Amino acid sequence: MKILFISFCISVLISSALILLSTIFSKKTILDREKTSPFECGFDPKNSSRIPFSIRFFLIAIVFLIFDIEISILLPLGLISNSVPPLVWIFIGGSFLVVVTAGLYYEWKESTLDWIT
């Protein structure tokens, strides 16, 4: 246990020293307006580069990610079909699909999936 603690302390010290050295010797530049502004073919930008995006787009992207993750959870069901009884396999897959469908129905009724409103 003592060796584990000593090796942990040494690794923390080495990591801290490397982080400290890299921040001290890193190439620092003074940030000015030209370096922080977006580059548009050598001209000053007409608009702000930080334009707000639609919250609808964000919600659709989140729903897509959620359903994408749910599909990746469903894929291993085919692999375990030989190792579990068919009734258990159907119950697990069916209950998961019911939850996914209920979530889709909720999103639909909340009109999150409507792009134009």
pTM of the model: 0.46
β-partners of residue 43 are: 40
* Residues 13, 18: Cα–Cα separation, whole Å: 9
Residuewise pLDDT in 10s, the chain (117 residues)? 889 999 999 999 999 999 999 888 876 655 656 666 666 565 655 666 666 777 777 777 887 888 888 888 888 888 887 888 989 888 988 998 898 889 888 888 887 777 665
Query: Residues 6 or more apart from 113 whose CB is under 8 A from it?
Result: 60, 63, 107
